[in-house]
A and B are shown apart, each in its own frame.
Chain A
Amino acid sequence: MAQTEPQTEAPEPKMTRQDYASDQEVRWCPGCGDYSILAQVQRVLADLRIPRENLVFVSGIGCSSRFPYYMNTYGFHTIHGRALPIATGVKCANTKLSVWVATGDGDALSIGGNHMLHTLRRNMDIKIILFNNRIYGLTKGQTSPTSEMGKVTRSTPMGSIEQPILPVSFAIASEATFVARTIDTEPAHMKEVIRRAALHRGAAFVEVFQNCVIFNDGAFRKQSDKETKADSLVFLEHGKPIVYGRNRDKGFRLNGYRLEGVTLGNGISESDLLVHDEGCDTTLLAFILSRTVRLGLPTPIGIFRACEKPTYDAMLEAQVEEANRQEKKVLLKKLIHSGQVWTVGGNGDKS
């Protein structure tokens, strides 16, 4: 099989975002949050100088799944919900490739929900960017598995009566080794989260709050509006107390198993606040932080969980490694002749 070793030396000259852009016209709606994600992914790849030929972008179906067409890399726009198993096959066949999946809330958590669970638990070395706009956009506005209860859409004219899934909670429960959330209106934050995901060895799950200007405009207004975001977004930083607010005077405190939002002062100091820990010993902590919306607390963004564990593809590679050194022809002969063999002579007699 023809393969090239990944280049460890930086190629010259310096790579830019444009080096990763294909010649196809980008056709998302004007103002769509997807543009921002495309730009940050291209910037990260350029910064990390990952050779184009070693990159494979796989997608399913939905607005976000057009992503591979806009990348000047190998790309595979597949079928609804199945990007992850296809990416799994790609990675298992050639573990040297850097494999990425662009997916949406419907693609990843409704029709493809089962694959998400299993890809994450296997710790397949795939970078998953989940474009969460809480709506079905390509099919023109039906409720999605992340749409809020009561949401009026074309398929739920009296309001959705479904409890939405919390993607980060789902990923943590599936024991993903890298789980993060970011938002399309915070490009610097998004770039850093994607950079960390790109460098992670194992399944990396990144939920991006992404605004759909046509069918669900303002779904993340509280977290994106200049007036409200300071009190609605919490930037998680490993090893630091969790603080938010315009004056950075608020924070999260753990009261037993219950997360509380508290204001500093009146006897409450930073030392009373929860200190963020990305490590995997604290799955429970990451899980609690993933559920703030249920408690009416602000939304944390950043890295919830990051740790190194053996990846499926590396373990598979180790299992088949021995084979590549052996003489296959001799082995095949031996295999065909295995079991109990007898010989029939020229006269038809068994000898």
Chain B
Amino acid sequence: MSTLTNETKRDEKPTEEVGRVTIRFAGDSGDGIQLSGNQFSLATAFAGNDLGTFPDYPAEIRAPIGSPRGVSSFQISFSEYPIHTAGDEPDVLVVMNPAALRVHLRDLNRGGIIIANADNFTETYLKKAGYSNNPLEDGSLKAFRVIRIPVNQLNSKALENSPLPKKEKDRSRNFLILGVVYWLYDRPLEPSIEWIEQTFAKTPDVLEANRTALKAGYNYAETTELFTRHYTVRKATLPPGEYRNVTGTDALVLGLIAASYLSDTTLFYASYPITPASEILHSLASHKKDFGVRTFQAEDEIAAICAAIGASYAGDIGMTGTSGPGMALKSEGIGLAVMVELPLVVINVQRAGPSTGMPTKSEQSDLLQACVGRNGDCPVAVLAPASTGACFDVAIEAVRLATKFMTPVIILTDGFLANSSEPWRLPDIERLPDIRIERPTSPDGFWPYLRNERTLARPWAVPGIPGLEHRIGGLEKEDVTGDVSYDPRNHEKMVNLRDEKIRRIALEYPPTVIFGEPAGKLLVVGWGSTYGAIMSAVENVRAKGRKVSYVHLHHIWPLPTDLGEVLGRFEKVLVPELNMGQLRMLLRGEYGYPVVGFNKVQGCPFKVSEIQRRIEEFV
């Protein structure tokens, strides 16, 4: 918990100012934990703090009630200064049942606050969680401040006049405990009340119950003797503009739709349901009517990528999204798109592997699969957004590169990035990059594989245009004509052309940005969603006066043209990543430097402290 700065009187109870707070909500997956977390994020955004979130949920839709493996959690960190992560260990743990306490207690900071729904600490639930005694009463939690709240009773009482059946009323319990936490951290009720009013407009009784429960929790905290004070976090200084909270999936979908607008080309998205990528399909499908997004739920992963390729051939921007195992199935399709040189965007929301692995847990272990995981020499562009907001920009960049260079582009996000949220400064549409697509319209000088001299892209000739009838396919092509060719020298030439075309994408990048000194003892190189944790660690180390620099890669393939030179300016290069060292292997292979790895494969993001300790071993 952060430093106490001053105390002021508010209502009857004093308010204590803190700089940064990290809260974790935990309970059964049916307890509405994710909803509570999202509402708290919304209220926090409106309170003007910077924030980061980390939703973590079990694979089972409804695991046995009260069991440790059914526990879902949501962590939020908020502060008066800019932050990049959802925090390492929470200061506050809100638990709806004993199982939630059992699973998450080990992470709670010593001296932290436990807010527990005491009504659920019954013999049955304690037993299900593996407790023989009630930890709220047996003194085992002495190191923490325990606040017991009879949520079930308070909720029943608050809703005694509601016409809803008991089971329905019980579903408002998460709002009641949320109200308590809102009071404790001085959050505004209005955004959540507005949300409740919008969301439950068609079921007035449910609307009323949720609103009543939220207010009842808030009032209970204010009047009861349980709390002697509450806390407030000052507004953070964010760049001016309009903001909203977005998850990585939200931002990605907005970016894809924006790219479709910017390129004046229809977006065709084909996908097969898979965790954690399905949300992209759901979200895009809801924009059929307004943006004309054509979505197609295919019969399998292979059909999904093939339909996307077919759509690209016919002039749409074909896209598909999946996660690791689905990516494996799409390999041959990506190879076809490389051979026929059509634009294609493939989104891989990475999850812990191999095989089915841990579908709801995050990892970065598909980097090499994306870069090299196909038969033949088969290069594609690979991009990786660093934050939820960056998913918007990367989506636009992917469409721009795919259409400009006539190539598949793979976007590597991950489960953490897809589901976590942060305040996002809304972009000005007028300032988004222009995506200009040129298509041949006349047969004069048309050859299917006659390349643009600068980009080496072939023309995107779309069916429907008289005189441009031509045949393409997965067999090797003769240079220029595109006819089938088994000529050995032609094959070598074409392999080289495909490779060179992708390498020329790097000429589009801005110079590599180095955070910190441009040369020195240690350079940290990161990619993807670990940006927040690595940046925080680097900042912390630098705040101690030690020298460490940081480069975050947004383009994984091709690598930036100046990267080798940048790496060479440092004595050591450290690559933290959530895999066994895949970027490290790529950098070693490409540049031959002795790159050192810091690797974690536990299905969860890095903690800032872990990276910090590793950096400090070097400096």
A residues with a Cβ closer than 8 A to B are 1-4, 22, 24, 51-56, 58, 68-69, 71-79, 82, 84-94, 96-97, 114-115, 117-118, 316, 319-320, 322-324, 326, 328-329, 331-333, 335-350
Contact = CB atoms under 8 A, between A and B. Distances in A.
Nearest to B265: A1
Contacts of A73: 469
A118 B13 CA distance: 65
B463 A97 contact: yes
Determine the interface band of chain B, counting residues with CB < 8 A from chain A.
Answer: 35 or more
A344 B294 contact: no
A164 to B, nearest CB: 23
Given A85-B304, A89-B296, 5 more contacts: A69-B471, A89-B308, A89-B310, A93-B266, A336-B427
A331 B257 CA distance: 10
Interface stretch (B63-71, B222-230, B312-320): B312-320
A68 B462 CA distance: 16
B466 A89 contact: no
A88 B310 contact: yes
11 contacts: A2-B441, A75-B473, A76-B313, A85-B310, A88-B306, A89-B307, A90-B313, A93-B312, A320-B294, A337-B242, A342-B45
A88 B340 CA distance: 17
Given A114-B299, A348-B238, A76 B473 contact: yes
Contacts of B266: 1, 93
Nearest to B304: A85
A346 B240 contact: yes
B336 A90 contact: no
Interface string B153-187: 00000000000000000000000000000000000
Main secondary structure of the interface of B (DSSP, over half): mixed
A93 B310 contact: yes
A348 B235 CA distance: 8
Nearest to B424: A336
B332 A79 contact: yes
With most chain A CB atoms within 10 A of its CB, the pick from B235, B335, B466 is: B466
Interface in B427-449: 427, 429, 439, 441
B464 A87 contact: no
A76 B306 CA distance: 12
A89 B470 contact: no
Contacts of B287: 335
Contact of A77 (B47, B243, B310, B475): B475
B472 A92 contact: no
A2 B315 contact: yes
Interface string B295-312: 010111011101111111
A340 B309 contact: no
B291 interface: yes
B40 to A, nearest CB: 13
Contacts of A115: 299, 303
Given A82-B306, A89-B270, A77 B470 contact: no
Contact of B311 (A90, A118, A331): A90
Contacts of B465: 2, 4, 53
Nearest to B237: A348
A128 B497 CA distance: 35
B464 A53 contact: yes
A323 B314 contact: no
Contact of B463 (A74, A118, A326, A329): A74
Contacts of A117: 299
Task: Give 10 closest A-B pairs by Cβ, nearest first.
Answer: A89-B310, A77-B473, A323-B292, A348-B237, A93-B314, A85-B306, A75-B471, A89-B307, A85-B303, A86-B310
A55 to B, nearest CB: 8
Contacts of B312: 89, 93
With most chain A CB atoms within 10 A of its CB, the pick from B235, B246, B309 is: B309
Given A337-B242, A348-B237, A1 B254 contact: no
Contacts of B464: 2-4, 53-54, 94, 96-97
A340 B463 contact: no
Contacts of B200: none
Given A76-B313, A79-B336, A320 B289 contact: yes
A93 B471 contact: no
Interface in B87-108: none
Contact of B306 (A24, A78, A341, A342): A78
Contacts of A82: 302-303, 306, 333
A323 B303 contact: no
Interface string B318-344: 100000000000001101100010000
B426 interface: yes
B209 interface: no
Given A85-B303, A86-B313, A336 B298 contact: no
B291 A331 contact: yes
A93 B473 contact: no
A103 to B, nearest CB: 13
Given A1-B462, A77-B473, A328 B291 contact: yes
Nearest to B425: A344
Nearest to A77: B473
A110 to B, nearest CB: 14
A59 to B, nearest CB: 8
B291 A89 contact: no
A76 B465 CA distance: 16
Given A1-B462, A2-B439, A340-B244, A92 B470 contact: no
A339 B245 contact: yes
B525 interface: no
Nearest to B317: A93
B48 interface: yes
B318 A56 contact: no
B474 interface: yes
With most chain A CB atoms within 10 A of its CB, the pick from B46, B473, B484 is: B473
Contact of A323 (B265, B291, B304): B291
A323 B471 contact: no
B492 interface: no
A343 B254 CA distance: 20
A313 to B, nearest CB: 10
Given A53-B469, A96-B464, A332 B244 contact: no
With most chain A CB atoms within 10 A of its CB, the pick from B46, B191, B470 is: B470
A208 to B, nearest CB: 22
A87 B310 contact: yes
A68 B448 CA distance: 15
Nearest to B441: A2
A106 B318 CA distance: 27
With most chain A CB atoms within 10 A of its CB, the pick from B294, B300, B304, B470 is: B294
Given A332-B261, A341-B243, A319 B289 contact: yes
Contact of B261 (A87, A329, A347, A348): A329
A22 to B, nearest CB: 7
A338 B290 CA distance: 14
